[in-house]
Amino acid sequence: MQNSFSGLDSFAKHGAAHVAKGPVALIFAEDETELDTTLRHHQQLGFKSVVGFMPEGFSLPPDLAETVVRVTYDMRADGALERAVNVVIGMAAGQWIFYCYNAEYLFYPFCETRTVGEMLSFHTEERRDAMLTYVVDLYAGDLDTHPSAVSLDNACIDRTGYYALARPDPANHNHPKERQLDFFGGLRWRFEEHVPLPRRKIDRVSIFRAKPGLEQRGDHTLSDEEYNTYACPWHNNLTAAVASFRTAKALKRNPGSTFDIDTFNWHNTVPFEWHSRQLLDLGLMEPGQWF
């Protein structure tokens, strides 16, 4: 079966078999930083298919070149992520989809011993069609040794400093939307002077079940408002976390911020343990009724 496509149009025409069984992981490569570890991490979680969207010049190790579905794609264009996700939604009705960027890693409760398919089967039984994920910033603890701010072995995380605000509804006199919140924290909060206001939120609806007419929007929400809720009306539901070097990487790469930041460490910095238990203990994801 063909597993390499020259562009999004080619994938839409000839790649339907790769998204016919879910869950499917879509990995969007903005650069080559930790691209191989990102792809392998999501393969190991048990996704039926891992699709990498990346420029033609990016290289993959032989094992990933054989097992990852590769789509030649340029992430620099405006709306590139939403355009690709919406195409896949149209190809994969009824299937669960997850998306993230390179140097980002999905964690969900008990992911060390349970597959993503098992987790989503339970979520489906609870009549949920989407799952809220929090983007939890990772950063290198030593920027002298790791000036790009990316290091798997030296990764750190903020243990506090996360908060939520009501999400106003412009269509209803800005009253709060039901069961929707805007979440903040991490590096986007601590270094907010370097982050445009629309990009400061850390919540994404990055796991959802595709259906006809559903559309991804530019703020990491979906066109069906029920998909954007953190829980159903009667009890708490599962949530997940995306551990991400993306913000740290951007803050150190951007000439407007890199010279203002000597370290990302502060009194609430702790080493990242690469384990779901730490994220559960910090309240950065919720097991709901799944034990």
99 pairs with which residues across the strands?
Answer: 26
**pLDDT for 226:** 95
Does pLDDT of 219 surpass 80?
yes
Quick: pLDDT tens for 18-76.
Answer: 999 989 999 999 999 999 999 999 999 999 999 999 999 999 999 999 999 999 999 99
**pLDDT for 284:** 95
Question: CA-CA distance, 202 to 222, in Å (whole number)?
Answer: 15
- Domain ranges in the chain are 1-102, 104-291
Record the pTM: 0.96
Nearest residue to 112 via CA among 272, 283, 274: 274
**pLDDT for 171:** 84
Does pLDDT of 290 surpass 90?
no
Q: How many CA atoms lie within 13 A of 60 on its CB side?
A: 26
- Provide mean pLDDT across the span 222-237: 92
**pLDDT for 233:** 87
Quick: pLDDT tens for 94-135.
Answer: 999 999 999 999 999 999 999 999 999 999 999 999 999 999
- More confident site: 232 or 82: 82
Question: CA-CA distance, 3 to 270, in Å (whole number)?
Answer: 40
Instruction: State whether the Cα torsion 3-7-12-14 is positive or negative.
Output: negative
**pLDDT for 234:** 83
**pLDDT for 116:** 98
Give the distance between the most distant pair of CA atoms in the chain. Answer: 55
100 pairs with which residues across the strands?
Answer: 27
- Provide mean pLDDT across the span 77-104: 96
Does pLDDT of 1 surpass 80?
no
Q: Please, what is the average pLDDT of the chain? A: 95
**pLDDT for 209:** 98
- Measured from the Cβ of residue 130, the count of other Cβ atoms closer than 10 Å reads 23
198 band by pLDDT with thresholds 50, 70 and 90 = confident
Quick: pLDDT tens for 138-197.
Answer: 999 999 999 999 999 999 999 999 999 999 888 888 889 989 988 999 999 999 999 998
**pLDDT for 236:** 87
**pLDDT for 65:** 93
**pLDDT for 173:** 86
**pLDDT for 162:** 96
**pLDDT for 61:** 95
